A and B are shown apart, each in its own frame.
Chain A
Amino acid sequence: MSQVKEVVAELSEIAQNPGKQLDKFIQDGKRVIGVSPYHNPEELVYAAGAIPFGVWGAVGQAIEARQYFPPFYCSICQMSLEMGLTHKLDQLSGMMITTLCDTLKAFTQNWKAGVQDVPLIFVSQPQNNQCEAGKEYVLRSYTEVKDKIQECAHHIISDEELRAAINLYNEWRKAMREFIELAGKRPTVISPIERAHVISASYFMDKADHLEKLKELNEALSQEPESLGDYKPIVLSGIYQDIPAILDLLEEHKFTAVADDLAKESRNVAVDVQDTGDALPDLSAAFSNVEADSLVYDPNKKHIDKVISLAQDNDAKGIVILLAKFCDPEEFDAPLIVKAAQEQNIPAVVIEIDQSTESYEQANTKLETFAEILN
């Protein structure tokens, strides 16, 4: 128990102070490259000897970014650009931005136009990721991404280095999946807020260091029996949950995510990279294996079935959809998830979240009522 608390305290500190981490890497003489959502091939950064550093916005108000984005763009992109424009990310040697939604596409160009000191690494990914043309497209795109990363990191990446990075990331992803499974069912040992902090910290750490911590945690957690206490088991769906006010509300109303479908949590560690020979084609093939995700072309809406199965397979009492405000990909799927949940008699609720929202009174009422329904 005390071992869990110690590791968790360290990771919580990192999760809540990313700026300090960035300063530390720079002081240690590391090159750091920013990594935007989603499914970014950050193994390339690691292979180049640089530190991949997650940039998923921050809680606050976008002021400078409003010159570039209209108000109806999601806060992840607004706040990430805001940080760039207000020189909070000047220490980065590059910023990888993907293109899986329209907001991210605009973000790539706004970054290029507004943030002069940090070069854009344009990561073009096709939403249509499973057809042959899509697969070929990703490989070509990743070849260009690799060149640009080499330029930013001042390092030529060898195939061995990339394979080593891939192996490390595969191991880390496996440990993350284990952690998510263990922690969700033991909220009395590791609280849902602590669980979220452990995951958030991974975005600001050297993955090898985070892996070490995960191994310690998983070992300690696996010694503990499953124990829900008075927590209600739910599935969390959406992009992310790590907004302090939202984490507090979920804790206050005693929800524990026995499984999640969050892009920043389980979806981010769902796909491993296979070893079939050359490292770069393997890395690009992994993107083609992303499925049941609101961010890729999903004609059979496997994403919806996946969320329902997660609830059924993990004995969740309900589904909480944390809908990122102004997020098109998620807004299309949310009503379908609610409908499918209804058909299976699984209560579901949609809570709109945003990094720039200051009052969550309505979310509070909704979550409280939802908790009462589940009781």
Chain B
Amino acid sequence: MSAKHYFLGIDIGSTTSKCVIVDDKNNIVGKSLKTGGAGTKSPEEVVQESLNQAQLSSKDVEISCATGYGRKLINWTDYELSELSCHAIGGKYLFPGVRTIIDIGGQDAKVLKLDEHGSMTKFIMNDKCAAGTGRFLDMMANAFGGKSSDLSSYDEKSESIAQISSTCSVFAESEVISKLASGESLPNIVAGVHESVVDRTVSLVKRAGIVEPVAMTGGVTLNTSLVKRLEKRLDVTIHTSPIAQYNGALGAALYAKSKFEE
């Protein structure tokens, strides 16, 4: 390949939109993430921002692929692929040799099993409720007037774990409020919230069966305290990446590239 070619992947989730542009050497030349998923302006904006970053125009994009729950709402991409397949492709690239990928997104959690060649052989998704997902953490942070990005640092200060027993987000929210009212420290409550997400994730991972190496993707990977708790409970090292949040979009871009190579 002499002239450069560019491939765009867009992942329109329930709470965020992400876009990644790769060149024909798999270098990420542009990427963008915005809150606001399906039905907002964010999908358009992340595409424009990624193009700007890469100093490209939409005409320079050879092939594009959309993924994520909101992908049906746009019709300009050349391909679409389910988010699980995109996560498998992205995960294989970010974490070569990975066999288990845990992805905790805005409103779902999933575990993907890959074979030695990086092909997805099995996947498990959470039940149809927000417990154990990013949305659950947002709601819990809201309950004490904080942001989910603050949760990790609160947990670092915890001395013990306040038990959050409700698996239903709505009940858990009132449990958090009543624990606060009864004088429990915020860090301990956050530790309890994290443990409840870990509980859910552990059962999901165990249902899929864990094979190392294990990687984690999705916005929740930014919460390092939670990742540490999960590592401890699963007794494995969990690989993460600073761009793990872009994994779905990256997988879509790489899929677009593979279509070009075909």
A residues with CB within 8 A of B: 342, 347, 361-362, 365-366, 368-369, 372-373
12 CB contacts below 8 A, A to B, read: A342-B122, A347-B122, A362-B108, A362-B125, A362-B128, A365-B83, A365-B84, A365-B125, A368-B82, A369-B84, A369-B123, A372-B85
Rounded to whole angstroms, the CA-CA distance of A368 and B71 in the bound complex is 13
In the complex, are the beta carbons of B120 and A373 less than 8 A apart? yes
Over the window 89-113 of chain B, the binary record of Cβ atoms lying under 8 Å from chain A Cβ atoms (1 yes, 0 no) is 0000000000000000000100000
B residues with CB within 8 A of A: 69, 81-85, 108, 120-123, 125, 128
A369 with B82, Cβ < 8 A, contacts A361-B69, A362-B125, A362-B128 known: yes
In the complex, are the beta carbons of B69 and A373 less than 8 A apart? no
Rounded to whole angstroms, the CA-CA distance of A361 and B82 in the bound complex is 12
Closest chain B residue to A375, Cβ basis: B85
Rounded to whole angstroms, the CA-CA distance of A347 and B121 in the bound complex is 8
- Residues of chain B within 8 A of A347, CB atoms compared: 121-122
Known pairs A347-B121, A369-B85, A369-B123 / 18 extra A-B pairs, C-beta < 8 Å:
A361-B69, A362-B108, A362-B125, A362-B128, A365-B69, A365-B82, A365-B83, A365-B84, A365-B125, A366-B123, A366-B125, A368-B82, A369-B84, A369-B120, A372-B81, A372-B84, A372-B85, A373-B121
Minimum-distance CB pairs A-B, first 7: A369-B84, A368-B82, A369-B82, A372-B85, A362-B128, A372-B82, A369-B123
- Residues of chain A within 8 A of B125, CB atoms compared: 362, 365-366
Rounded to whole angstroms, the CA-CA distance of A333 and B61 in the bound complex is 49
Most buried by B among A342, A347, A369: A369
The smallest C-beta distance from A252 to any residue of chain B, in angstroms, reads 11
- Residues of chain B within 8 A of A366, CB atoms compared: 123, 125
Chain B at the A interface: SS class: mixed
The smallest C-beta distance from A368 to any residue of chain B, in angstroms, reads 4
- Residues of chain A within 8 A of B121, CB atoms compared: 347, 373
Rounded to whole angstroms, the CA-CA distance of A374 and B4 in the bound complex is 33
The smallest C-beta distance from A297 to any residue of chain B, in angstroms, reads 28
Rounded to whole angstroms, the CA-CA distance of A29 and B81 in the bound complex is 55
Rounded to whole angstroms, the CA-CA distance of A369 and B122 in the bound complex is 10
Closest chain A residue to B108, Cβ basis: A362
Most buried by A among B82, B83, B84, B108: B82
Closest chain B residue to A361, Cβ basis: B69
Closest chain A residue to B209, Cβ basis: A342
- Residues of chain A within 8 A of B83, CB atoms compared: 365
Rounded to whole angstroms, the CA-CA distance of A311 and B139 in the bound complex is 44
Rounded to whole angstroms, the CA-CA distance of A362 and B127 in the bound complex is 9
- Residues of chain B within 8 A of A369, CB atoms compared: 82, 84-85, 120, 123
- Residues of chain B within 8 A of A342, CB atoms compared: 122
The smallest C-beta distance from B241 to any residue of chain A, in angstroms, reads 22
The smallest C-beta distance from B114 to any residue of chain A, in angstroms, reads 11
The smallest C-beta distance from B57 to any residue of chain A, in angstroms, reads 31
Closest chain B residue to A373, Cβ basis: B120
The smallest C-beta distance from A341 to any residue of chain B, in angstroms, reads 11
Closest chain A residue to B112, Cβ basis: A369
Rounded to whole angstroms, the CA-CA distance of A373 and B125 in the bound complex is 15
Closest chain B residue to A253, Cβ basis: B82
Closest chain A residue to B126, Cβ basis: A362
Closest chain B residue to A360, Cβ basis: B128
The smallest C-beta distance from A81 to any residue of chain B, in angstroms, reads 24
- Residues of chain B within 8 A of A368, CB atoms compared: 82
- Residues of chain A within 8 A of B84, CB atoms compared: 365, 369, 372
Rounded to whole angstroms, the CA-CA distance of A313 and B183 in the bound complex is 64
The smallest C-beta distance from A288 to any residue of chain B, in angstroms, reads 37
- Residues of chain A within 8 A of B85, CB atoms compared: 369, 372
